[in-house]
Amino acid sequence: MTEPATTAIDPNTLHESMNAAGHVRLVDVRTPGEFESVHIPGSYNVPLDLLREHRDEFCTHLDENIVLVCRSGQRAGRAEQTLRAAGLSRIRILDGGMLAWESAGLPVDRGVERWDLERQVRLVAGSLVLSSILGSVAVPRLKWLAAGIGGGLAFAALSNTCAMGMLLAELPYNRSADCDPQTVVAQLIASKQPTPSDYRE
């Protein structure tokens, strides 16, 4: 059986559907820190690493129309693969992610400003490369650290994964105290809303 193609939904269409009668569940797969900085009102934060680790547990509560949200769409694409592998099919991805949503001038909830994960990766990778090149003047072998970082970034692009990003996502700066499977599941259960079909005899 052929796997269904990814269905993207543009920000304005999603906003219209959120205001319509049909229920749409927005699942934001960014880190809790990114989510707390800015998110779409009514969305639920299920970080990508948590979603992968507790996929089956979450899937029992993700049985409605799901729209996956991240910063630009990449992490949402990986989350979609995880959910489809678990048997869910009513999944769409916000085209362009939060960047496109904000560019369209659509409503957001804002909190304390934090750097998004991609920006953190650029800072750490750039700092490591710069310091290793400068340090190689005194310790020539440090140039291999820069080469290793460059190779890791190239592999991340080719494989559409990022080991450094996954490590940074675990830092306290990017986590929140209530980001655990039980709390997330409780939020998903509490947010269950009846759909129009529920009112039919």
Q: pTM score, two decimals?
A: 0.72
Specify the amino acid at residue 148: G
Amino acid identity for residue 169 in this structure: A
Domain ranges in the chain? 8-114+176-196, 117-161
Give the tens place of pLDDT for each residue, 67-80. 999 998 889 998 99
- Per-residue confidence at 195, pLDDT binned at 50, 70, 90? very low
Tens digit of each residue's pLDDT (9 = 90 or more) over 112-149: 887 787 888 888 888 888 998 899 888 889 889 888 88
List the CATH code of the domain at 8-114+176-196. 3.40.250.10
| Pair of tokens at residue 11 | 């920000």
Write a three-state SS string for 55-99.
Answer: HHHHHCCCCCEEEEECCCCHHHHHHHHHHHHCCCCCEEEECCHHH
